Amino acid sequence: MAKYYRILEFRNYDILLPFLCYECGNCCRNYTPQIYRDKIPKISEHLGWPEDELIKMHKVAYLSEPRKDCPFLTEENLCSIYPYRPSNCRLYPLETMLHNADVDCKGYKEFRRIWEKFAKGRQYFALRNPNDNLNKPLRTVPNQEWPKLLNIFFNCKPSSQMISKFMKIKGNFRDVVD
């Protein structure tokens, strides 16, 4: 099970919230990401496919109606171009949440449920990927805030895997960022 972290930026502190990927592949079903021409050579080389074949295969999948599954999704529900995946794939689940899409994915549903509880009633918050701005330091949650945050978290009925990952964050976040 892969794990990724997203940052919930609040006014005075940041929270790292894990996103657990159960490798179901549902985020790639009925969806083909847009791939920019400048990425084609690296993807082509990575897959060992001729560029024109890659472009043709991607175009057919991208323009199909009804939508086909991503052509880069393997039978094992893994991304065959993961190191070169497009930015909209890198932003998952944030991109999906921004567009109010509903993906039948255990990890997405759990992440969204927890994020919505943390964000509820807040005047200021933002979501971002920890790798988006490596120069921006994370602001530690003050000790007096943790009881309130843990109460919100546990009221969401998180999975044991989510509890484990989130509790690691309570210590030093720098040790857990992927």
Q: What is the pLDDT of residues 89-110, one digit of tens each?
A: 887 887 777 666 678 899 989 9
Instruction: Give CA angle at 125 (124, 131), nearest 5°.
Output: 150
Q: What is the mean pLDDT of residues 167-177?
A: 57
Assign 61 a pLDDT band (cuts: 50, 70, 90): confident
Nearest alpha-carbon partner for 69 in 23, 21, 25: 25
pLDDT digits (tens, 9 = 90+) for 107-161: 989 998 998 898 887 777 777 777 666 677 788 888 898 899 999 999 999 999 9
For residue 172, pLDDT beyond 60 = no
Q: What is the mean pLDDT of residues 27-44?
A: 90
Token pair, residue 165, equals: 């990952």
Per the CB < 8 A criterion, the answer to whether 93 and 111 are in contact is: yes
In the block, tokens 């843990």 appear at 150
Per the CB < 8 A criterion, the answer to whether 176 and 166 are in contact is: no
Assign 177 a pLDDT band (cuts: 50, 70, 90): very low
Question: Nearest 10 degrees: CA dihedral of 14, 155, 159, 24?
Answer: -80
pTM for the full model? 0.79
Q: What is the mean pLDDT of residues 49-55?
A: 94
Token pair, residue 36, equals: 């920019």
Among the residues of the chain, which ranges form H helices?
A: 40-47, 51-63, 87-90, 94-98, 106-119, 146-155, 160-169
19 phi and psi, to 5 degrees? Answer: -115, 120
For residue 176, pLDDT beyond 80 = no
